[in-house]
Amino acid sequence: MHRALKIFYILVFAILMALTIRASLAENVLAALERLWPDPWFLATLADATFAFATIALWILWRERFRARGWAIGFTVFGLGNLAIATYLFWSLHQLKDGEPIESLLRQRPE
């Protein structure tokens, strides 16, 4: 299961990176923001993503023993979104010891 999740997060990262590059080449993000800002669905989606990122950032801050690293990763989540989350989860899965259950990823802080 660890391997399948690692592959999943690699795919998430690769797909999001490709879509981000494609979007960046098509239109400047600030130009898109100016056009999208008045749209209520854009605002609802932005608020939804922001609260999800805050939830994950708080979990990361709790989980990391080194507070500076937790804060740095948390702020990175707000800047890079799911790219940062996929990277963090891949890295966290990679840190699990052989035979260690995935549940420990959620329940305990790494050593």
* Domain regions of the chain by residue span: 2-107
pLDDT of residue 110: 64
pLDDT-wise least confident of 10-14, 45-49, 65-69: 65-69
The pTM of the full predicted model, rounded to 2 decimals, is 0.82
- Mean model confidence pLDDT for the chain: 90
pLDDT in tens, 76-109: 999 999 999 999 999 998 888 878 888 888 776 7
What single-letter amino acid sits at 91? Answer: W
What DSSP line would sit under 69-106, residue for residue?
HHHHHHHHHHHHTHHHHHHHHHHHHHHSPTT--THHHH
